[in-house]
Amino acid sequence: MSETLWNDLNARITSCRRCPRLVAWREEVARTRRKAFQDWDYWGKPVPGFGDHAARILVVGLAPGAHGANRTGRMFTGDGSGNFLFRALHSAGFANQPLSSRRGDGLEITDMYISAVCRCAPPDNKPCPEEMGNCLPFLGEEISLLKNLQGYVALGRIAFDNVLRLYRQNGVTLPKFDFTHGGFYQPGNGLPWILASYHPSRQNTQTGRLSEAMFAEVWTKARELIDSTR
Is the CB of residue 28 less than 8 Å from the CB of residue 79?
no
Q: Report the distance separating Cα 212 and Cα 48, nearest Å.
A: 27
Exposure string over 46-66, b if 16+ CB within 10 A, otherwise e: bbbbbbbeebbbbbbbbbbbb
DSSP 140: H
The residue segments making up the domain with residue 168 are 2-227
User: Which pTM does this prediction carry?
Assistant: 0.97
Tell me, what's the pLDDT at 230?
A: 63
Residue 61, beta-bridge partner list: 116
Report the CATH number at residue 75.
3.40.470.10
Q: Report the distance separating Cα 40 and Cα 92, nearest Å.
A: 31
Structural domains of the chain, count = 1
Per-residue pLDDT of the chain (230 residues; tens, 9 = 90+): 799 999 999 999 999 999 999 999 999 999 999 999 999 999 999 999 999 999 999 999 999 999 999 999 999 999 999 999 999 999 999 999 999 999 999 999 999 999 999 999 999 999 999 999 999 999 999 999 999 999 999 999 999 999 999 999 999 999 999 999 999 999 988 999 999 999 999 999 999 999 999 999 999 999 999 998 76
